[in-house]
Amino acid sequence: MKYTMLDYLKVAEPHLPPELVSPEAFADIAPIARALPPCSGSGFECRLGEPDARADFLVRVQTHDGTRGAFAGRNPDVRPPAELLENPVWRRVFDFCARWATPEDALHADVEDFWLEFDVIGRLPTAPTPAIFFGPRQEQPEPLGLVALATGVMRGEPGPATVRGSVRRCYEALPPGGSVYQVGMMLSRPIDALRLCVRGIPTSGLTRYLQEIGWDGPVGELDALLSSLAPHTDRICLALDVGERVYPKLGLECYVDALTLGGFKERWKPLLEHLVGRGLCRPEKRDALLSWMGLSDHRTERERWPPNLVRGAEAQGPGAVSLFMRYLNHVKLVFQPGAPLEAKAYPGLKHLWGRAQASAS
């Protein structure tokens, strides 16, 4: 490939705090990043309560930045290596993207985006098995049909009827405004379940929804946790593992809203301070997350900038700027009855096109 995901990560590397992603962890991520087409969206999963700085890695496949076409095999400049093309799981990944890129296919209009997540524990194999997420288009008439189709393509076979029944209950119990915004297949983990990410339910209604779908965890303990998080977040989304039943382990994904990167820093501080106070986040990782946020600008960091993005800015005429935004997407609390609470952060990297008034920081 002429350019790879690693070329984009190298822009971020000097800004990546070693408290979040150590040089050794970055070196473990580099081989899979080198094997992937460049994606305008990517990120890391960092464990906030642990002293080490290993991180998992994620990339986002989208329509507008050409990554869907690249993963569909329609860009000769970014053909993946043979190790991926010959791997059965990866062949299904590429087949999914090829179908998604075909206007006549049912996936084409109903899938918004597609994520690959890699569990990184030491050096990865040449064809690591990813966890896979896709974003269903909202307000479609047959969401369950899309879930069945998409997961069948990725699994290579239909999922168990018991899982389909549990997923149906989760959809049917959604209150007005609630939606499933990501559906995940944890192919890299030994669990026959789907991950459903649910948003749009007020924090005060989350436990009610969980009870309606058959979650049998400790409601009082969860309510107390949600009440402690609510003052520091703008919304909390659920990450559910759904198999023959809704499993007790939950992800509570915390988000904040702001109009600027500086505003985001201020909005994230109270939640991070709260987590430090509860012993769920190490102080140095709190500080590292806040220092990560900023903008990288091709005019001031040209020596490490991917040439394709420099040419793209030049092609747009005077004043066009290629930028990478470094931000914190969300913080997740992993709630599992009988186990210690765990906090994870998801620092993100996003390529943007801007105009000359944008400044680096």
Cβ contacts of 39 within 8 Å, gap of 6 or more: 5, 8, 59, 60, 61, 62, 65, 67
Q: Using one digit for the tens of pLDDT, what is the confidence trace for 148-192? A: 999 999 988 877 888 999 999 999 999 999 999 999 998 866 667
- d(Cα 121, Cα 115) in Å, to the nearest integer? 19
pLDDT of residue 359: 47
pLDDT top residue among 320 and 139: 320
SS3 205: helix
As a whole-number percent, the residues of the chain with pLDDT over 70 amount to 97
Counting DSSP H helices and E strands in the chain, the numbers are 13, 11
- d(Cα 132, Cα 116) in Å, to the nearest integer? 5
Using the predicted structure, report yes or no on whether residue 358 has a pLDDT greater than 80.
Answer: no
Q: What is the pTM of this model?
A: 0.95
Paired tokens of 75: 């860009």
Tell me which DSSP letter residue 356 carries: T
Give me the helix-helix angle, 261-277 and 219-229, nearest 10°: 140
Average pLDDT over residues 57-75: 94
Tell me which residue has tokens 């379940």: 193
- d(Cα 36, Cα 207) in Å, to the nearest integer? 39
pLDDT of residue 168: 96
Tell me which residue has tokens 């990184």: 120
Nearest to 358 by CA among 311, 312, 313, 292: 313
Nearest to 109 by CA among 71, 55, 145: 145
Paired tokens of 42: 């990517």
CB 59 within 8 A of CB 39: yes
Q: What is the residue-wise DSSP string for 111-169?
A: EEEEEEEE--SSSPPSSPPPEEEEEEPTT-S-HHHHHHHHHHHHHSSPPPHHHHHHHHH
pLDDT of residue 115: 97
Average pLDDT over residues 215-219: 97
Q: Using one digit for the tens of pLDDT, what is the confidence trace for 280-316? A: 999 999 999 999 999 999 999 999 999 999 999 999 9
- d(Cα 215, Cα 186) in Å, to the nearest integer? 20
Q: Using one digit for the tens of pLDDT, what is the confidence trace for 242-265? A: 999 999 999 999 999 987 888 999
Nearest to 136 by CA among 167, 163, 90: 167
Q: Which residues of 250-262 are buried (b: 16+ CB within 10 A; e: fewer)?
A: bbbbbbbeeeeee
Cβ contacts of 103 within 8 Å, gap of 6 or more: none
Q: Using one digit for the tens of pLDDT, what is the confidence trace for 70-105? A: 999 998 888 888 899 999 999 999 999 999 999 999
Average pLDDT over residues 221-239: 97
On average, the pLDDT of the chain sits at 93
